[in-house]
Structure 1
Amino acid sequence: MSVIRVGTRGSALAMAQTTAVANRIQAVTNGEVEIIPITTHGDVSRESLSSLGGTGVFASALREALLNDECDVVVHSFKDLPTDPYAGLTIGATPKRADARDVLCARAGFTLATLPEGARVGTGSPRRAAQLRELRPDLEVVDIRGNVDTRLALVADERLHAVVLAAAGLGRLGLLENMATEYLELSDWPTAPGQGALAIEVRDGKPERLLAKALAVLNHATTQATVAAERQVLARLEAGCAAPIGATAVLDDGLLFLTATVYSPDGTRRITASHAATPESHAVADLQDAALDVADRAARELLAGGAAEIAPLTVTS
């Protein structure tokens, strides 16, 4: 493999995070790396994320390009990736996670508590919309689409009072310090499963030697385990990113903690489950076993508490 080709969406954010991954691959392999921009349906459609179906609208074109040998790896935002396996592909590495929190980007330095009554706040996420309605039912929650710059422009042009965005995305674009007016803490405002993490996907089978070396260096076992726990909740509920679900997993003092919350779309109800597991060791396999165990217990509790009745989930027996 003379050149490692890295596929990505063409948005500024996707290019920024993929460039960081490509630079690390190049540093590890000391070889040539080429970035291949790929347009996805989610990039060109102006429909809302929920009406598009949410899960997979940003991933399918990248995956097809990978299967068609147009690139050797693709870089996804993990929160955009469906939980179902994709035939012929596997996650080759999960780099260390960035900040998983959401932030408020508002006019005049407003926080969520100080926004004026009736303020217009934009988001394309059903989960964020439900959280906004729960904490501030007086707000007008506006469904928006577009890249980060487009969303921030809605505030700068005073069409909205604020938008809610991912801290990780703003950080990767170098905008976090200047644009965030409030960090929304995970204990009160859980974010999407996998938020802040990247997934490096490859074709099934043994990777070429240099690529395998890069994947081994890029993978971060703790991030791999915590993201697996969060995403397993989605898998057990058979819910996609169109469902209003937040999940936070952390590894602390030898314990893997997971808290998952399902919201009703109108923000009037929520169900939360919290569980912990003790991995046998910090080996990848033991961390993954603990992640699946804690997620399964959390999902069972959510279902028993009526999660399928308050949120748009598709659940089988």
Structure 2
Amino acid sequence: MLKTLSLTLKLMVMLALAFVFILPIAWMALGSFRPHEEIFKFANVLEWRTLFPVEWTLQNYADLFFDTAEPFSRFIGNTLAVAATVTIFALFFNSLAAFAFAKMNFRFKRILFVFFISALVIPGEVTLVPTYLLMRNFGWINTYAALIVPSVISVFAVFLLVQFFSEIPRALLEAARIDGASWLRVYQSIVLPAAAPALVTLAIITFLGQWDSYLWPLVVISDQSKQMLQVAIASFTNMEMTEWGRILAADTVSSIPILLLFAFLQKYYVQGITMSGVKG
């Protein structure tokens, strides 16, 4: 009896939490089908019209995708290309660094790792100006290189993978070395397959970070044709009028890839987060 009551209580709490988290997303998605004058008309009352449109329209999506001055599909393509490129390079370089710190022995490894991890306490805003000056000296301002290169190496990514790589038995790696495998072969054939959940977790986090990036693209990109998604959505707000219908439609479209990515890779994401924090 007590067990049934406990399970019922947990289910009710989970349903309540799910409702709280899903309600804003549902309001955003359904609100994108409202005409401009109806979006906030029923926001102060709690009834079916608060969530569901009275008058359904696709005008917000038409304005979003058929505006030649601000081609939203181009912004999606830019963001997708940058996010995918950063994710691929981040998985390669950060996993190599994490493998070296976790499994290889070299002088001053502990000291270097401590200094490297200490960068986690430095806010990104502090390095914004030096990174911008570096990009300017390279001549990369207003180019995709300025969006991609500074985002590839991540201290958090290396830290996450080091925790996971540390769980791989060293005897397995030593056996491969005795059989004549190089460190690169060990990394490719043993470490990467064993670390698939952590790599998927890192891929999701990296892709999501780039997909939602706002401040850095706003600083280094002024060419509208090269702009990123979140900056483009923010441009729908101006001094004369905020295009809420268009913003809700853009937010809904930009949320779909992330929701699909997490839905298909949720198992690996949870497993990677859980296992990377387990020691011993």
Task: Work out whether the TM-score is over 0.5.
Answer: no
TM-score of the superposed pair, with normalisation by structure 1 = 0.21
Identify the structure with the greater strand proportion.
Answer: 1
Ranked by relative contact order (alpha carbons within 8 Å, sequence separation 6 or more), the top structure is: 2
Identify the structure with the greater helix proportion.
Answer: 2
TM-score of the superposed pair, with normalisation by structure 2 = 0.23
Higher-Rg member (1/2): 2
